Chains A and B, each alone.
Chain A
Amino acid sequence: MRRSGMNLRKWLMNTFAVPVLRRMPIDRATNFVESIGRWEYDRVPELRRHIDQAVAEAAQRMNASWDLSTTARNLSGRLTRWRLRDVLLDGPDADRALNAFEIVGGEHLEQAMAEQRGVVLLSNHFGGHILPAHWMLRKNLDFRFLTERPRHLSKSLETYFSSTGTMGQQEMFVSRKKKGNDGVASIIRSLRVLKSRYIILVASDVRWLDNQSVTAQFLGEHWKFTPIWAILAQRSGAPVVSVYCSMLPGGTHRLEFAEPRHIAPNADISELVQQELRQIEARVLADPENANDYFFWALDHSPAAAELRVITPSTDTSKSMPSPHFGIESPVLRK
């Protein structure tokens, strides 16, 4: 969808719909937002074609047996919900927000925090990627978000993110406009934050280009990813806890915390990044309606995406050679 259309929709949503939705119970409001996304899918041919193509190509690359039209329509609903970030959880009532979460493995995060070495909380863009931050805010946990500055957040999270100073969130935001040793400064700053026993929320699936980036395969293509989470865990000794936030059909969210683990000092960083991406791929395969923007990566041929895409013989789509990770036989090799 064209950017101008996206912006108009976002403006209409934030100006007129969100204030009304915030007065509704969170699950009803969320379901309503999803229904808007499905309504758009049914009535906007351009959007429908785009999503259909993305889902069909992803299914082919992953050898998935999804019901394509149902997946595409529901994905359209989830995309609308995903774009609202944590806005529907906003408000003074913490319990109202916390009740929108189903927590699985919360003891794993507690176990990691008990080590008192900080925690690398490893998130991703599967499901609601901002929601773990909102949950931690409501639980009064000390955390920092190592990421580009996210936009269109709830007022609660915006306020939390406005902190400055040595441990401030403002200083934790990173930029793709590289200069000097920015990457080095970011690692040193994050290590300082971990040393102060904060949780650092960082995503494992961020495509990024700097001199630490590693190439890894994801959904049938090779991309450059930042390995900063692995570097931090390796250098700090802090436990790593993976977290997934699935957007559930009933308008609620499931946060699943995996068991804490430690990264060995001699571990292969590239392999760590690849392993984590394989975990996300397995989630996508099982639950494509929570895949959000992943399916659109392959359709993105912008200069920015081209910088991050790594063309290898196995990812040259012109030869229809899909990911060997999914065990798909290449038509080229079959000949």
Chain B
Amino acid sequence: MNEIRREELYAVIRQAAKIPAHVLINDSSRFVQDLGVDSLDLVGVLLSIQDNYNFELTDDEIGAIASVGDVLNLMAQRGLKLSAA
């Protein structure tokens, strides 16, 4: 099973959506309300995550994503396990 580092995923999200360093990202961060990510930024975020971790999200899954935790759950469903570190 592949492992991913949580901090690495946060960094991918931060870079793709150009989220300022002072804005805290955690699993419960909501893209729009907490991270100030608009829909176009979200396209970039999801494309970056798909490219970095080599998987594809379905339309229904994309439609339901609201937070970083939602993305993590979808990754877990594909066997991408979060490392403890």
Contact = CB atoms under 8 A, between A and B. Distances in A.
Given A211-B39, A212-B39, A212-B40, A184 B46 contact: yes
Given A171-B59, A188-B46, A188-B57, A231 B65 contact: no
A334 interface: no
Contacts of A185: 59, 62-63
B11 interface: no
Interface in A154-191: 171, 179-189, 191
Nearest to B65: A181
A152 interface: no
A182 B63 CA distance: 5
A235 interface: yes
Contacts of B65: 180-181
A231 B63 contact: no
A187 B46 CA distance: 11
Given A188-B57, A189-B59, A211 B64 contact: no
Kindly name the residue among A187, A211, A212 whose own CB sees the greatest number of chain B CB atoms within 10 A: A187
B40 to A, nearest CB: 6
Size bracket of the B interface: 10 to 19
Contacts of A192: 56
A186 B42 CA distance: 12
Nearest to A171: B59
A226 to B, nearest CB: 12
B62 A191 contact: no
Kindly name the residue among B38, B40, B44 whose own CB sees the greatest number of chain A CB atoms within 10 A: B40
Nearest to B38: A211
B43 interface: yes
B24 interface: no
Kindly name the residue among A181, A191, A211 whose own CB sees the greatest number of chain B CB atoms within 10 A: A181
B62 A181 contact: yes
Interface in B17-54: 38-40, 42-44, 46-47
B74 to A, nearest CB: 13
Contacts of A187: 40, 43
Contact of B39 (A184, A189, A191, A235): A184
B59 A235 contact: no
Interface string B41-85: 011101100000000110100111100000000000000000000
A249 B47 CA distance: 47
B63 A188 contact: no
B37 to A, nearest CB: 10
Contacts of B39: 181, 183-184, 210-212
A185 B57 CA distance: 9
Contacts of B47: 188, 191, 235
Kindly name the residue among B42, B43, B64, B65 whose own CB sees the greatest number of chain A CB atoms within 10 A: B43
Nearest to A187: B43
Given A188-B47, A191-B47, A181 B63 contact: yes
Interface of A: 171, 179-189, 191-192, 210-212, 231, 235
**Which 10 pairs, one residue from A and one from B, show the smallest C-beta to C-beta distance?**
A180-B63, A185-B62, A185-B59, A187-B43, A211-B39, A184-B42, A181-B63, A184-B39, A181-B62, A184-B43
10 contacts: A171-B59, A184-B39, A185-B63, A186-B59, A187-B43, A191-B43, A191-B47, A211-B38, A212-B40, A231-B43
Given A180-B63, A184-B42, A188-B43, 15 more contacts: A171-B59, A179-B63, A181-B42, A182-B63, A183-B39, A184-B39, A184-B46, A184-B62, A185-B59, A185-B62, A185-B63, A192-B56, A212-B40, A235-B43, A235-B44
